[in-house]
Structure 1
Amino acid sequence: MSTQSEPADDQPDPGLSAIMSERRKLINLAYRLLGSLADAEDVVQETYARWYAMSPEQQDAIESPGAWLTRVASRICLDLLGSARARRERYVGEWIPEPLPDRTEWISGRSVDVNTDPADRVTLDESINMAFLVVLDSMTPAERVAFILHDVFRYSFAEVAAIVGRTPAACRQLASSARRRIRASQNPATPTPQRADVVRDFKRAWEAKDIDALVGLLDPDATTIADGGGLVNAELRPIEGNEQIARVLVDIADRAPDLRILERTVNGQPGLAAQQEGVTVVVMAFDVAGDRIKRIWAVRNPEKLRPWKG
């Protein structure tokens, strides 16, 4: 199958269509592996560049182009994950996965004017919520790749082994270790409508600068982690404790009276986006257990907020 030849009568090349149809799956895979839409786009672009760098004869010799593309994209991600820790050591503030927007508000369901072209190609499920991605980021690169390929994308351990460069038994152990990390980090599941109620009440309390209401909505041991993205005014350490978090939120509201807080879906879950002069300046994801907020991830890095327009 050659994707380089031009079919007669200007008809679409079925080989090219088959190759490009893999793009959505590759974006899904790379985002889960890297926690970044921008990096996922770069990985997929590089993967296709390697495909088209081959001759038509080399392409024809590949029995399953889709499997080839997945293998190459996964290996690129594995290499990037290996260097990511060193890059993040130089990062000012905490590093948080890039928040993924949705086209709809989580309460009204109304379509909003958000540029979500990359996000449109990411399937929303539990493997992209912020709490899940944060745990993935704590894993070794090999653990993360083995777990995502096997448990999320249902590749066999033999296929995973060919990508990771280890034995199937070793990959099975990697995925098992990753599962233990996931289980240890999970709170009991809170239904989405209940999550929405808690986040809605949090938004109202923040807008009202009601410290007592905020304290009541936050778990006593709640943590807020802010991603400054290299900004000099980034929060360098997490804020811990419901009273401390509430006072910081009210202080922010006092210093930014024009702050507009919007209900938005963040990585498939009820979240908030705050704007100043029509520009999104922070996106918040929440970990809710019962009727209390356990964690808040506040992403401020402008590079990570590029998909959040309006």
Structure 2
Amino acid sequence: IARRVREAAKQLGYSVNYAASALRSDVTKTIGLVIPSATEPFSAQLLDEIEPTIDTESQQLLLGIGATQEAQAERIESLANRHVDGLIVVPAAGADLAGTLNQYANTLPIVQICGRQTAPRVSVVGIDENAAMEAIVKHLAEQGIASAAYMAGNELSFESAELFATFHTHMRTYGLATSENWNQFGERTVQRGFDCAMRLFNGPLVQPEAVVCADDAIAFGVMVAFDALGIRVPEDVLVVGYHDSAIARTTMPRLTSVRAPFERIVSECLRLLASGPAGGAAETAAAPGGSVRAPRVMLAPQLIVRDSSVFRR
């Protein structure tokens, strides 16, 4: 029906004036989205999923991009002042947006994607990082390896710290060895992966049998370094990435990677926004002390197994 209405409006030369509509109603038919970057894999895939979904519901997506806490706070304020019907925020690495979000959370439905829930009236839809890392380590253990390294993301990121901790937990659970010298935080770039792999595999006598990376870009850099060193993937070393970006499907061999459930993420975000401020928690559940705690929804990702992590000896 929505498609036919838009086609008829187009034929008649009609266009919606959302500003005028807002003067006549509390509803503006707009959703705000704040992301750290439009090119970073997670944000880019989220944007690809959410834009057509919102368009199908005859709403408009207003986008704010900010790579720092200060920039994101400005984007949030700007979108709130435009009277969006709801706001979705993906915090930048190290950003603490609790103060900014709390300013608007009493009257504006807000959903944060990933990160720690620091604003009690802001709903959170996140990735179950524990399930993700367990799937990775379990898969590696099934390949018969004895050791693995982990190239984590930015240490200021809540997700990076959580994945780093769960990596060590599951390595112990499955009886696999690792080393402090193998596991480092750093940028999610090809260059970082290349440099780390050259350091780990160009000299030391004891080397890991697998490398787990917090991003596909890091994993690609690792594979470039291995090619330069004459190390074969997967015959000599297994490699696993994260985010299942386009890189994972174009490397040789193709890269095993973790895929976030973007369709479910978007669905949950829109459901919580439609429930009103605090995801409707004010009507259903009160936290100790009488304060309201908005919902926190954790979704399990999927490990997409490809050639880079299946041993062929």
Give the structure-1-normalised TM-score. Answer: 0.27
* Structure with the largest fraction of helix: 1
Give the structure-2-normalised TM-score. Answer: 0.27
